[in-house]
Amino acid sequence: MTLEDILAFDAADPLRDKRDLFNIPEGVIYLDGNSLGVLPKATPDAMNDMLRRQWGQDLIRSWNSNDWINAPRRIGDKIGRLIGAAEGQVIAADSTSINVFKALSAASQLNSGRLVLLSETGNFPTDPYMMEGWATATGNRMIAELVEPSRILDRLAPDVAVLLLTQIHYKSGEVWDMNEITRHAHEAGALVIWDLSHSAGAIPVELDKCRVDFAVGCGYKFLNGGPGAPAYIYVAERHQSKVMPVLPGWMGHASPFAFEDSYTPGQGIKRFLCGTPGILGMCALEIGVDIFQSVDMGVLRTKSRQLGDLFIALVEENRMGFELASPREADMRGSQVSIRHPGGYAIMQALIERGVIGDFRAPDILRFGFTPLYTRYVDVWQAVSTLADIMNSNDWCDEKYAVQAEVT
């Protein structure tokens, strides 16, 4: 493959105009949008208006006049369009971790009598931690259990109340078959919670079609909502009215401004709100989510597959001693490719110093995220040629790259 071929891919890319909607720093090839998405160009002006006019001038009137009060529902519905959820089933709220807790506690109620919360070993840790937390909150009546991914289906016995899985694995990028797994879980009488942190904005998701019960995910990764952006939770319509929230905050009350002494849950998805939404964060999240409203997720997915395939082909062509840690088959892989090397941490630091930003996950994984809205084929080409320079020159062995920072 030549550089001309690569440039021809970019020229023919149906998403090529989207890159201009984002602020990509000069000299940077950003392959970490799966961890923190880049800044949309429209965000600073929207934030400025939020701060100076909506907060600064309109003050508390903004809850009505600027519709702050409906931000969780409005943005939730927009996220819903990206993940195959009809309106009224998604809200933007809280963090993913908190939403995992809300989903676990709700699902357990709907499946009372069954006591096991099931997930896979190696899942993103906040998910199993929250399972332990919810088990603790039940006085250890419920039991958190992790099994190897290959044993999940076999473990779906009649004691399993809830199966919690991350659709796209944060380290390997491997994709679970949502439709199949959900069907198996339901046949076994379990409810499912899907963590979509690496799915929303990366691949097409069909929550309603797959009859998923609950889902959660992050706003700051592929959705480009900004550092620590609000997360979201999906609760299938058929379940909503049957759940008595375990975190019954006043914002989820049927009539918050009646200030009643005891809790009456709001209608529908509203009861999954907890406290006052962080409106500044909601503002940035909405800009990120809005960009996707005119994007065909099928087209986006095609490019995501091709970017990953190209990266793998170029890395292997250069014979640099990496081992592929992601599925080779594009359909089995989310929008990232991970490769292994014992010197992974130092190699990634050397790459970052040269403007190619990916990240490192212990013990030996270099992770590269491909965000089809702003990653070009030529970026993949340049990233791999920078990597080849570092490896061929042994520059990464310089001891300055071995110093571990707090965030990897």
Ligand X SMILES: *Cc1c(COP(=O)(O)O)cnc(C)c1O
198 part of the interface to ligand X, by CB under 6 A: yes
Q: Mark the segment that binds ligand X (CB under 6 A) among 22-30, 121-129, 343-351, 368-376.
A: 121-129
Catalytic-role residue among 367, 376, 377, 401: 367
Q: Say if strands 232-235 and 214-217 run parallel, antiparallel, or are unpaired.
A: antiparallel
Catalytic-role residue among 9, 101, 220, 234: 220
Active site residue 124: yes
222 part of the interface to ligand X, by CB under 6 A: no
Binding ligand X (rule: CB under 6 A), the pick from 43, 54, 89, 126 is: 126
197 part of the interface to ligand X, by CB under 6 A: yes
319-357 as b/e, with b when 16 or more CB fall inside 10 Å? ebebeebbbeebeebbbbbbbebebbbbbbbbbbebebb
The length of the chain in residues reads 408
95 part of the interface to ligand X, by CB under 6 A: yes
For residue 62, give every residue at least 6 positions away whose Cβ sits within 8 Å of its Cβ, in sequence order, or none: 54, 55, 68, 279
182 part of the interface to ligand X, by CB under 6 A: no
Report the candidate in 65, 70, 92 with the shortest Cα–Cα distance to residue 81.
92
Active site residue 311: no
Q: Which is nearer to ligand X, 170 or 374 (CB)?
A: 170
Question: Alpha-carbon Rg of the chain, whole angstroms?
Answer: 22
Report in angstroms how near the CB of residue 148 gets to ligand X at its nearest.
Answer: 18
Q: Mapping DSSP to helix (H, G, I), strand (E, B) and coil, where does residue 257 land?
A: helix
Active site residue 221: yes
Binding ligand X (rule: CB under 6 A), the pick from 215, 218, 315, 350 is: 218
Taking the C-alpha atoms of residue 248 and residue 305, their distance in angstroms, rounded to an integer, is 42
Binding ligand X (rule: CB under 6 A), the pick from 119, 166, 182, 240 is: 166
Residue 109 CA, chain-centre distance (Å), reads 26
Active site residue 195: yes
Which structure tokens are listed for 184? 């198996």
Binding ligand X (rule: CB under 6 A), the pick from 66, 97, 302, 382 is: 97
Instruction: Please report, as ranges, the residues that interact with ligand X according to CB under 6 A.
Output: 95-97, 124, 126-127, 166, 170, 195, 197-198, 218, 231
- Give me the active site residues, please: 124, 195, 220-221, 367
